[in-house]
Each structure stands twice: as structure tokens, then as C-alpha cells.
Chain A
Amino acid sequence: GQNIDQPTEMTATEGAIVQINCTYQTSGFNGLFWYQQHAGEAPTFLSYNVLDGLEEKGRFSSFLSRSKGYSYLLLKELQMKDSASYLCAVGNQAGTALIFGKGTTLSVSS
């Protein structure tokens, strides 16, 4: 079956660094995605990994280990506006819909 696990909630303070982990078991693998979703809005794309290693994009970085079925999203220099839900999603095979984890709600406090 398909399974994507990530923590339900996390809290952090402004200026800190937070790491959101995601583990997956899927029948195929064609890339791992991270999305940010603010309440009441559609998800917005953050990052994409298909090869092992770290992808850095400004304050956000994403890491992938395909052999371990593991990814993390690293958020640096946290800001209040980073309070949102972060969704880990796996592309099973080309042309198919993404499979989403349940999302991690991050609360950033001052």
C-alpha cells in the first residue's frame, strides 16, 4: 500500500530552525514534493527532490534519501508567516496524481 508519515504538529519560535520529517512507502517513486498551505488556501509548491541529497532554496531546504524512504524540510530563520501546514507528497509514477501525507501544522511564536 501507500503510506506517507509526518508529524501532526510542531512549534517553534521566530528566528529558529525547524526540521519537518517525512517517511514514505509507495509502490513507485517519481519524486518527493513539499507544499505549504495556509488555512483556507490552496497548497503552494516549496520544493522537489528526485535524487538523493539536499536541495536549497533560500530559507527552505529539502533532503531526500531514497534508500531510507525519508525526506525532511528544513526551515531557517523562522518568521511568523511560516505558520502553516506543510504537506509531504510523493509522485508514484509519471503522469499520476501526487499522494499526500496528512500534513504537519507548524506554529511559530514570537
Chain B
Amino acid sequence: SAVISQKPSRDICQRGTSLTIQCQVDSQVTMMFWYRQQPGQSLTLIATANQGSEATYESGFVIDKFPISRPNLTFSTLTVSNMSPEDSSIYLCSVERGVKTEAFFGQGTRLTVV
């Protein structure tokens, strides 16, 4: 199993500012995933982050808006840039699963943009 520490757990931010979310894993993993969960919705994958290469973004998400860093095999950050109220969501990091195991999630970051 993997233990994932994500911070901050919540924040209230002014529109136009940026917030960086950190995700720390207690073991080395090749791939980390960032999801967004808008109010009342399910999880939508933003991007996949591999160590040593640029993140791969899903349709509808771009690097300028959601830059991701992956400096080593246990850490990643997601920045939500130039925020607007539409960015108010829960952001979750997750790590790749092994064979026959579930995906593990961080505790989530509840972001409110005012």
C-alpha cells in the first residue's frame, strides 16, 4: 500500500492568484495522477506525471493553467494558475496501482476561489 500526504487540505483564494498543491508519497512510484472533482461531480483526470518528463494532460486541461512538477519518485506538485471561481473544486493526487491493488489517493485539497 502507499500513504499519500497532500497539502494544503483546503484553501480559499482570490481570483487571479495561483495555488500550488503538494503530494508526498511514502514510497517510490513511477506515475502519479492528478484529478479534479467539481461540486457534485465525479473525478476527472487532469494529467499524468512521470518523473523526469513532462506531464501528459487530458483533453480540456493545459499546462499553462495546471503546471505540474515531478522532481523525484516520491513528490509532485500541481499549480492552479490565474484562478477563477470555476476552479473551485477538490483536487486529488493518486499513485499508480500495482497488480490487483487499488489506486491510492491523497486526502484531497478543497479549493474555493472567491
Contacts and interface: CB of A to CB of B under 8 A. Distances in A.
Interface string B92-114: 10101101111101111010000
A56 B42 CA distance: 25
Question: What secondary structure prevails in chain B residues at the interface with A?
Answer: loop
Contacts of B45: 97, 99
Contacts of B30: 95
A101 B33 contact: no
Interface residues of A, number: 23
B103 A98 contact: yes
Question: What secondary structure prevails in chain A residues at the interface with B?
Answer: loop
A53 to B, nearest CB: 15
- B: interface residue count bin: 20 to 34
Contacts, number: 49
Contacts of B42: 87, 100-103
Contacts of B101: 48
B41 A102 contact: yes
Nearest to B94: A97
Nearest to B58: A97
Contacts of B12: none
Given A97-B103, A98-B103, 14 more contacts: A31-B100, A33-B102, A33-B103, A41-B107, A42-B92, A42-B105, A42-B107, A43-B43, A45-B103, A48-B102, A89-B103, A96-B48, A97-B45, A103-B41
Which 7 pairs show the lowest CB-CB distances between chains A and B?
A45-B102, A97-B33, A100-B43, A102-B42, A42-B105, A42-B108, A103-B42
17 contacts: A31-B100, A33-B102, A40-B90, A42-B105, A42-B106, A50-B100, A87-B43, A89-B43, A95-B30, A97-B94, A97-B103, A100-B42, A100-B43, A100-B44, A101-B42, A103-B41, A103-B42
